[in-house]
Structure 1
Amino acid sequence: MSCPPYLHPIPASRRVHIDPHDSRFMQDPYAAYAFLQGTAPVFFWEEYGFWCLAGYDEVNRALRDKRFGRERPGGYMASVTADADRTHLADFDALEAGSMLELEPPVHTRLRTLVNRAFVSRQVERLRPRIEQLANQLIDRFEDEAEIDLLPAFATPLPSIVIAEMLGVSTDMAGQLVEWSNRMVAMYMHAPTRATELAANAAARDFASFIRGEVERRRNGMVDDLLGLLVAARDGGDRLSDAELVSSAVLLLNAGHEATVHQIGNAVRTILTEGGDPRRFFETPEATVATVEECLRIDPPLHMFTRYAYERVELTPEAIIEPGQQIGLLLGAANNDPAAFDAPRRFLPSRPDQKNVSFGAGIHFCIGAPLARLELQVALKVLFDRLPTLRLAYEPAYRDSYHFHGLERLKVEWWVPRYQPLNRSEEEAASD
C-alpha cells in the first residue's frame, strides 16, 4: 500500500502527522489505515499527542486489557482541570463526571447493572414490531417525493424516537434531544473551538435541566419506563445519586441514537454503492444479520476510542505508555486489517471471518449493541423493501467529525410511478 499524500512518511520513531481535518483523510481514512497496518500498526499520532493502535489484534487485546481503562486517573474533575481553566464547561463536566462511560469498577459495574436489563437481547427483541412500524411511518411521509436527504428524514428520527420512548420521554422532544446531543458530542472531536465548548456546555445545562424535570414528574409514583427504573433505583437508597441519575439518562439518550444515525447512513451508502437490487442482501433473517454485521465492519460510525494507562505498559520498544497517559484504539482501522480479514475493503456479508469491534469489547462493550443491531436490521430491510429502486443522487461526502465517521448528507432518489392520464377514447369509455 502506497503512502497517502497527507500522511508524512513514518520515521523510525513511528511518529506520524495526519491532520484529522484534512478532507482527503476524512473522505477515505482507510487508505491511511492500510498504510499504517503495513508499516506501523502502533504509532504516535502527533496531532493527538498519544500512541495509537491500528491492528485488529492490538485493538482487540487493548479493549480487554485491565491495565487500561476509561476512568481518568485521579478522577474526571481533577484530570480535566489540571491544565486549563474550564469554568465555562462546568455543566458539561458535571455530566461527564457521572457518566458510566467515563468510570471503572466498582462504580461502573453498579451503574451498568441498573440499566443493562433493559438492553439485553430478549428485552430489545420485543421492540421489533414498533421499530418496523416506525420505519414504515417515516417512509410513508416521503415515499412520493422521489428524492430526499435520508439522514434527517429517516436515519435520525428512527433511533432518536425509539430511545425516547424507551426512557419515557415525549417523542415531540426527539428533535431537541438530537440537537443537544450533537452539540455535546462535538466536544469529542479534535481541537474543539471555544465556540464549540460554549455550545456544548449550554446544551449540557439544558439537557440536564430537562431530565431533572422528567425525574420530578415521576417522584410521586413508579412509571413503567427506563427513566422510571432509574428514579426507583435512586429512591431505593444510595445505589444511584441524583448526579448519576441525570448523567445516566443523558448518556442513554445520546448514545441511543448518535452512532446509529451515522451507521444507517454509512450502511445505505455502502449497499447502494454495490449496485443491483438491494433487496438481495435481506432475503432471509440470516442474510439480514450478516449484511448488518458487514456494514458495521466495513464502515463503522466510531473510529477512535481512548483509554488511560493505569500502570507502565510497553506496547513496543518505542511505545512506552506511562501511568495516566492515553492511547487511541482505532476501531475503523481494526475492522479493516488485512491480517484479520480477507479482502477487507470488499463488501462480503457472507464472509466467515466476521468479528468486528465496532461496539468495543471487554467491560465497556456497548450496552446498546443489541438495540442498535435490531434498529439497523429492521430499518435497512424495510427501507429497501419499500424503495427497491433507491439510488444515490450523488456521491455523499463525510463530515469533518473524526473520530465519529458519518455523512454530511445522504441525498437519494428513486422511481415513483406517476399517474398517466387516459387518452380521449379511454376517457369517453370510462364516462359511459
Structure 2
Amino acid sequence: MTIHALSVSQDPRDPGFVQDPYGFYADMHRTSPVFYWRDYGMWCVAGYDQVNALLRDRRLGRENRWGAPLNHVESREHLHDFDRIESGSLLEREPPAHTRLRTLVNRAFVSRSVERLRPRIRALANELIDALPAGQPFDLLPSFATPIPLTVICELLGVPVDRGNDLLSWSHAMCEMYVPQRSHETELRANRASAEFGAFLTAHIEEHRHNGADDLLSALIAVRDTGEKLSDDELISTCVLLLNAGHEATVHQTGNAVKTILEQGGDPRRFLATPELAAASIEETLRFDAPLHMFTRYAYEEIDLGPVTLKPGEQVALLLGAANRDPSAFDAPDEFRPGRTDQKNVSFGAGLHFCIGAPLARLELQESLAVLFERLPDLTFEIPPRYRDSFHFHGLESLVVS
C-alpha cells in the first residue's frame, strides 16, 4: 500500500473536528487504524493494541537524535531558552539519561506519598465552593478546576502559591509550542516565558539550598543515587515539567469529567458516592474524554507499522484519544460506563514515559469532584460547553454552570 492510499486530510483546527474528534477516530478505526495525516506530515496510529505496544517499544523514543525534524530548515536560535529547559526534561530524554533522571526524581517524588494529600485536596475543594457566587452563574475552570492542582503542586514543590498567575502564564505560553501550525509570535512568547520561568526557579532554588524546608524541591536538591545528583539545569527542567504537567492536564480533565458526568443526566452523586465508585468513574472519564490526544515518537530503527515501515528519524503520532475509543479493545467505546471490566485507558501513556504524576492527578480528580457534586448536586450548564481550539491538549475553553 502506498502513502497515498492511506493519506488523510483533516484540519486539526477545523471547528467541527475540535468539538468532536471522535467521529474522525471512528472512521479511521473502520478504514485504517494506521494512516498518513497530511496536515501533520506524519504517520499516525489509532488502534489501542498498537498504540499501547508502541508506547512501550524501545525502538521509538522522545529524544530527537537528528537535530531539527526531517525537512525542517528554519533556525531555532530564537528558541534558545525554551530548548534549554526542554533538553533537561524527563519527557524529552531516553536511556541512559532518562533512567538516571527518573530514578532521582522518583526517589524524591514518591517519598512524598500523594495519598496523604487527600485531606488537603478535600479542604481546598470545600474552600473554593464556599467562595463561589451564590445564585449566580460561574465559570468552573478558573474558580475550581485550576486552583486545586495549581495550589497542590505549588505547595508540594515548595513554590509560592501567590506566584500562581505567573506560573499559569508561563505554562500556557510554553504548552502552545505543541499546537499545530504555531506562529513565530507563539514561539517568541514561549521562549520569553521559558527565560522568565528559568530565572524565577534559579533564584528560588538558590534560596532553598539554605532554608531547610521540608518540600519536594528541597528533596530534589538533596537527592542522591550512587553519588549522582541533579544538575542545576536538570533541577530547573524537572521543576518546570512538574509544575506544568502538575496542573495543565488536570485542569483540562476536570472540565472534561464534569461535562461528561453532567451529560449523563440524573443525580451526579451516584458516580462518586464512595471512594471505589469515584475511582472507577474518574478512570472512565479519562478513557472517555482524555486531556491529551496525541503523543509523538521518533523511530530509532526501522519499524514495521503494517502498511508502512518507518525509517530512523521519522516521527509517528500515537493517538491516545483514538486508542481509548477503539471498538476492538473496548465494548461500546462511545458509552460512558464506570466500572467497565475492560478499563485499560492509555491517557497517562505507558512504558518508561508513563506519567510520573498520574497518582496525584487521579487523587485530585477523585477528591475534588466528589466534593463538588456532594455540595452542588444540582449543577447545570448555563452555556453549552465548547472545547478550546487545541487538538493536542483537549480541554474546554470555559465551563459556565449554575
TM-score above 0.5, yes or no: yes
Q: Which residue of 1 aligns with 2:23?
A: 31
Q: 2:13 aligns with which of 21, 26, 32?
A: 21
Q: Which residue of 2 aligns with 1:138?
A: 128
Provide the TM-score with structure 2 as the length reference. Answer: 0.96
Q: 2:337 aligns with which of 337, 348, 351?
A: 348
Q: Mark the runs of 5 or more structure 1 residues left unpaired by the alignment.
A: 1-9, 414-432
Q: Which residue of 1 aligns with 2:34?
A: 42
The letter for the 2-side match of 1:252 is: L
- Aligned-partner SS, 1:408: strand
Q: Which residue of 2 aligns with 1:163?
A: 153
For the Cα contact (< 8 Å) 1:298–1:345, is it kept in 2? yes
Q: Mark the runs of 5 or more structure 2 residues left unpaired by the alignment.
A: none
The letter for the 2-side match of 1:126 is: R
Q: 2:386 aligns with which of 388, 397, 421?
A: 397
- Aligned-partner SS, 2:398: coil
The letter for the 2-side match of 1:329 is: L
User: Residues 306-317 of structure 1 correspond to what in structure 2 (within 5 A)?
Assistant: 306-316=296-306
CA distance in 1, matches of 2:109, 2:335: 32
- Aligned-partner SS, 1:218: helix
The letter for the 2-side match of 1:34 is: A
CA distance in 1, matches of 2:108, 2:399: 32
CA distance in 1, matches of 2:297, 2:214: 36
Query: Do residues 334 (structure 1) and 326 (structure 2) align?
Result: no
Query: Do residues 222 (structure 1) and 226 (structure 2) align?
Result: no
For the Cα contact (< 8 Å) 2:176–2:190, is it kept in 1? yes
CA distance in 1, matches of 2:317, 2:217: 33
Q: Which residue of 2 aligns with 1:148?
A: 138
Q: 1:255 aligns with which of 231, 234, 245?
A: 245
Please say which structure displays the higher CA radius of gyration. Answer: 1
Q: CA RMSD in A?
A: 1.9
Query: Do residues 95 (structure 1) and 85 (structure 2) align?
Result: yes
Q: 1:286 to 1:234 in 2, by over 3 A?
A: closer
Query: Displacement, 1:300?
Result: 0.4
CA distance in 2, matches of 1:259, 1:37: 26
User: Residues 160-199 of structure 1 correspond to what in structure 2 (within 5 A)?
Assistant: 160-199=150-189
Q: Percent of pairs identical after alignment?
A: 59
Q: 1:94 to 1:12 in 2, by over 3 A?
A: closer
CA distance in 1, matches of 2:167, 2:69: 26
- Higher RCO by CA contacts (8 Å cutoff, separation 6 or greater): 2
For the Cα contact (< 8 Å) 2:109–2:216, is it kept in 1? no
How many residue pairs get aligned? The number is 400
Query: Displacement, 1:228?
Result: 1.0
For the Cα contact (< 8 Å) 1:119–1:370, is it kept in 2? no
The letter for the 1-side match of 2:242 is: L
For the Cα contact (< 8 Å) 2:29–2:46, is it kept in 1? yes
Q: Which residue of 2 aligns with 1:379?
A: 368
- Aligned-partner SS, 2:367: helix
- Aligned-partner SS, 2:396: coil
CA distance in 2, matches of 1:375, 1:402: 24
Query: Displacement, 1:176?
Result: 1.4
Query: Do residues 294 (structure 1) and 284 (structure 2) align?
Result: yes
For the Cα contact (< 8 Å) 1:25–1:32, is it kept in 2? yes
Q: Which residue of 2 aligns with 1:429?
A: none
